[in-house]
Structure 1
């Protein structure tokens, strides 16, 4: 199934919080946007935040091919039984279209947070018992132990806010077969000051979350890289910005490091709920 999964999601996808919206008045807008992403050639849509199968269903119904995955569904917000039931319902209606991306989220935002690795293992055990196949679930894996868990108990890894170097290390741990689909933030801006300002504004929230800052430190950054909104070195490592050639090169760096698929998130200074459709079209053009 893994090789088929790689073919299904293709080389590039779109990561978006806005496409997760449950506002009934936006249902038509979301369906239209998903259909256009499919037409533009993207292989997958990744629903940001703590998303679920119910968020994926309208997008799947509005399209015929594109895969839709959660990135991520928090193991603290949804029980394994709830996840299994919603997976089975969507799988019956639209076989092979939904991917269950799982993660442990963050202690800062989760009152129940405790022993996250053990909790994730127990959650996977419960999903096994409920019949959710390992080859249709993915883990947001940052540390080595979780990457190995993604190799052994899932179809692969969908890490967020990482570098090509982290991608290369993940590839070594995963081996050749599992899917490796890192997220990458893209700023369609050529002016360095403007691009880095947009990036720093967006990164600020993540620099308060130990899961990410610890991963940066584990991967060669220093405490000084994490201050004042992030050093240029950090910004340039986790964002793609510049002209078309520079952005395409940065994306290609992740592929060269071992990524099978890159989930691209537009950062433009608008709210996370915005649908940057013109930017998605521009990005598709430079990837063509």
Structure 2
């Protein structure tokens, strides 16, 4: 499956006007992006209208929560999309987070392995899925039970460590947060507004602490050091330097999430500007 070098990660394209969303997906394909990642715990059927609106674009779930969708349902849904749009649907799976799942969230790694066993039994091919992996155990499962990994909220150093854990030949497709703003104060303010909710989720904070950040870095919406490590911000040249760091560290594909003020939407202006990276680094 060819994801291209760059894709877009977005929640807003799942919501709102369906016609607008189809047009946005078609424009992403025209701009040269290889993959559209549907953020925010999407279902498999949500990919269908966006696949129908395009001819080459891969559509991926980034990520489908294993607590909300039974594998015996997900497997045939995925097979139907692959039949109608061969090689263009990628199932991204994740164990989500305890504060979001509630009492159902128990032994997430074991739950993921059980889920993968049930997917296998239902005939879902491992090469058609990736796992939202941060720590060593889930990265190993991504290597052994999937096509690779789709880490979220990470740094270039995590990309390097993830490549070492996956080895060569496995897909590494991290999400990269982007703020197209040259002013440092404004860029960091936008980043903190986005990051605040994630710093309440232990899976992310534990991973950041593993990467060498401190509790002080995680306080107050994130230190400048944390913001500058997790986010690519600045003009297009600055963004290109950061994406190059991830690619040099071993990423095969980067899922760019454009952070815009005012919440999640379909940021076409930012996607059009970032498409220059497809031409220069793609």
- Provide the aligned C-alpha RMSD in A: 0.8
> CA deviation digits over 1:119-153, x for unaligned, max 9?
00000000000000000000000001100100000
Q: Secondary structure at the match of 1:260?
A: coil
Moved segments of 4+, more than 6 Å: none
In structure 2, what is the Cα distance between the partners aligned to 1:210 and 1:74?
17
Aligned length: 278
- TM-score norm. by structure 1 comes to 0.95
Q: Secondary structure at the match of 1:269?
A: coil
> CA deviation digits over 1:227-284, x for unaligned, max 9?
0110001001110011111111011110011100000001011221x11001100111
Q: Secondary structure at the match of 1:227?
A: helix
In structure 2, what is the Cα distance between the partners aligned to 1:251 and 1:47?
20
> CA deviation digits over 1:159-192, x for unaligned, max 9?
0000010000010010110100000110000000
Match of 1:167 in 2: 159
Match of 1:124 in 2: 116
Matched, 1:91 2:82: yes
Matched, 1:9 2:34: no
Aligned counterpart in structure 2 of residue 241 of structure 1, from 224, 229, 233: 233
In structure 1, what is the Cα distance between the partners aligned to 2:179 and 2:203?
23
Shift in CA distance, 286/260, structure 1 to aligned 2, threshold 3 Å: closer
The answer (yes or no) to whether the contact 1:12–1:44 under 8 Å persists in 2 is yes
Matched, 1:231 2:231: no
Structure 1, unmatched stretches of 5+, are none
In structure 1, what is the Cα distance between the partners aligned to 2:91 and 2:6?
18
> CA deviation digits over 1:64-111, x for unaligned, max 9?
001000000000000111111211221221121110000000100112
The answer (yes or no) to whether the contact 2:116–2:145 under 8 Å persists in 1 is yes
Alignment map for 1:11-90 (pairs within 5 Å): 11-21=5-15, 23=16, 26-90=17-81
In structure 2, what is the Cα distance between the partners aligned to 1:186 and 1:262?
11
- TM-score norm. by structure 2 comes to 0.97
Aligned counterpart in structure 1 of residue 185 of structure 2, from 193, 197, 208: 193
Structure 2, unmatched stretches of 5+, are none
Match of 2:94 in 1: 103
In structure 2, what is the Cα distance between the partners aligned to 1:287 and 1:187?
17
The answer (yes or no) to whether the contact 2:7–2:34 under 8 Å persists in 1 is yes
Match of 2:260 in 1: 268
In structure 2, what is the Cα distance between the partners aligned to 1:35 and 1:204?
32
Matched, 1:180 2:147: no
Question: Cα offset for 1:286?
Answer: 4.3
In structure 1, what is the Cα distance between the partners aligned to 2:276 and 2:97?
35
In structure 1, what is the Cα distance between the partners aligned to 2:109 and 2:277?
39
In structure 2, what is the Cα distance between the partners aligned to 1:248 and 1:287?
10
Q: Secondary structure at the match of 1:64?
A: coil
Q: Secondary structure at the match of 1:228?
A: helix
